[in-house]
Structure 1
């Protein structure tokens, strides 16, 4: 089995620094975890929050902590340092080889889309964000790991795309792109391009899109590609 994880992101129009942080980390018992954190607000202050949370998550996962414990730990961290006055949303998508499962952890209102050969699922139950409430817990879903799965997570900038112009992005359009026979990175890029079109190339918020796919291809080579506008 081969897993591809691709990220596409853009800052809010006019902001040099975005408040979203995304990362991919290898799991010590096999597999990978994709992380997206959206700090409250935008700009440098939001970036400091999201970046610090992702750093702690990366360390905890590398140490072998389970996803639910990781989410609770960073919730307590943010609540402690900011006194319940600053929030962040978190989505983690883990492909865990030790449990042969996909683990989806959410703190926030952004849905996760899962597609396989049999069905389409949108996990969109409301769950409290990190930081505001002392006893916030993540909402966790665990699915059997299969070949041919596509999982997409994103921040609320995508949810708001087009709303300013009364032409909001539609789940159906996103799912149609996810079902196209193109690369994982092309899917993330194409969905981001659609959001930018709907926002008339002036995104109203930071947008981060992460797509994870499993396939039956075989390879012993691990690859990471990154493009950063400076």
Structure 2
């Protein structure tokens, strides 16, 4: 495969140990155009101390690996940084690191966590593991090449041990989880579905009183999911035809934002623009329709609401699942979902300024629309999306 062929779709969820307000497990994900870095850490014990240990571990590992550090240096830094437990005389957080390049090359580093589950074509496969010692710690290391629809599932020992001494004498156990994964994972199964099922069973086995912090994450290899957005008319009306043609030729889904922009696209495609008067949400203007375009919305108001929803998802104020199953599928909700589900997003921004969108507090060359789009681009980049912006 050529470079930048693969993307990753990731979902993770944790259950706190019963009675604890903070989780001793932590996940950090960093995506760039070249690679995905996934770090999971399980802090020693539970509660505040475990949370601090796990947070330190994930932050150190993710930041150092992002900057190109070797795994040896990363592990040494983690060991040197974490405080020592006075009682057990040990100071560490177990961790699992998964690095995936855009060409499919994958490295898995595991220190004292359960082995990852590698699923291809619905089967859990063995992967070669090498052992090496770094600063007195035995690190397990695997290197494989991934294909589209491959899935890697990472679990903490809280998942594997679910039910110990209660419903199941020896806990759920790795082999049983592997068998279950083979039953539920198909080519079209999403990471969120895998994680939700595993977490639900774990909670049931613990009878909703988890004996340990329990975390599950699923990483799926997918092909680029492309979305193209045209927002705003070109500064020069003579460019309308070329800009619309360029927009239509781009592979992937097509979104048009703005009334004037929609009229330009409809005219150049020789298709009718069908407007709706149905206000699904009173705060969001209705959706319109152009044959061949996946979504047609109003401009600034809808984009502003979309930015608000994206910020809420990123900050954790609302869960992705909540948005995906939103009862009111207004234009902003639909747009937010399409952007979240995309991996590669191309913005085609028209620089013609609507006087109604000009704010005297902004510089003369910056309209409210442009400011909102900048906000959307920034939050999508933080989510790990691959963004390109063209202005006309």
The TM-score with structure 2 as length reference comes to 0.51
Select the structure that is richer in helix: 2
- Are 1:60 and 2:61 an aligned pair? no
Q: Comparing 133-142 with 183-192, which one deviates more in the overlay?
A: 133-142
Q: CA 1:87–1:100 in structure 2 vs 1: closer, same or farther (change >3 Å)?
A: same
Report the Cα distance in structure 1 between the residues aligned to 2:140 and 2:25, rounded to whole angstroms: 20
Where does residue 2 of structure 1 map in the other structure? 7
Q: CA 1:43–1:135 in structure 2 vs 1: closer, same or farther (change >3 Å)?
A: same
- Residues 148 and 223, structure 2, Cα contact 8 Å, conserved in 1: yes
Where does residue 213 of structure 2 map in the other structure? 206
Q: Report 1:84-99 matches (<5 A).
A: 85-97=90-102
Gaps of 5+ in 1: none
- Residues 68 and 105, structure 1, Cα contact 8 Å, conserved in 2: no
> Max radius of gyration: which structure?
2
Q: Report 1:37-186 matches (<5 A).
A: 37-78=41-82, 81-82=83-84, 85-97=90-102, 100-117=104-121, 119-122=123-126, 134-167=135-168, 168-169=171-172, 170-171=176-177, 172-179=179-186, 181-186=188-193
RMSD: 3.0
- Are 1:11 and 2:16 an aligned pair? yes
Q: CA 1:66–1:50 in structure 2 vs 1: closer, same or farther (change >3 Å)?
A: same
Q: Comparing 146-155 with 57-66, which one deviates more in the overlay?
A: 57-66
Higher RCO (CA-CA < 8 Å; seq separation 6+): 1
Q: CA 1:164–1:179 in structure 2 vs 1: closer, same or farther (change >3 Å)?
A: farther
Offset from partner CA, 1:58-90 (integer Å, 9 cap, x none): 210221123454234323433xx4286223210
Report the Cα distance in structure 2 between the residues aligned to 1:8 and 1:175, rounded to whole angstroms: 20
Report the Cα distance in structure 2 between the residues aligned to 1:175 and 1:68, rounded to whole angstroms: 34
Offset from partner CA, 1:74-107 (integer Å, 9 cap, x none): 23433xx42862232100111123x641111000
Q: CA 1:50–1:85 in structure 2 vs 1: closer, same or farther (change >3 Å)?
A: same
Q: CA 1:72–1:106 in structure 2 vs 1: closer, same or farther (change >3 Å)?
A: farther
The TM-score with structure 1 as length reference comes to 0.83
Q: Comparing 36-45 with 67-76, which one deviates more in the overlay?
A: 67-76
User: How big is the shift at 1:157?
Assistant: 0.4
Gaps of 5+ in 2: 1-5, 229-309, 319-392
Report the Cα distance in structure 1 between the residues aligned to 2:44 and 2:101, rounded to whole angstroms: 29
Report the Cα distance in structure 1 between the residues aligned to 2:84 and 2:204, rounded to whole angstroms: 36
User: How big is the shift at 1:212?
Assistant: 0.3
Q: What is the total number of aligned residue pairs between the two structures?
A: 221
Secondary structure class of the residue paired with 1:82:
coil
Q: CA 1:208–1:19 in structure 2 vs 1: closer, same or farther (change >3 Å)?
A: same
Report the Cα distance in structure 1 between the residues aligned to 2:27 and 2:127, rounded to whole angstroms: 20
- Residues 79 and 91, structure 2, Cα contact 8 Å, conserved in 1: no
Q: Comparing 120-129 with 6-15, which one deviates more in the overlay?
A: 120-129
Q: Comparing 171-180 with 154-163, which one deviates more in the overlay?
A: 171-180
- Residues 114 and 122, structure 1, Cα contact 8 Å, conserved in 2: yes
- Residues 95 and 110, structure 2, Cα contact 8 Å, conserved in 1: yes
Offset from partner CA, 1:25-56 (integer Å, 9 cap, x none): 125x6121111100100000111111111111
Report the Cα distance in structure 2 between the residues aligned to 1:154 and 1:228, rounded to whole angstroms: 24
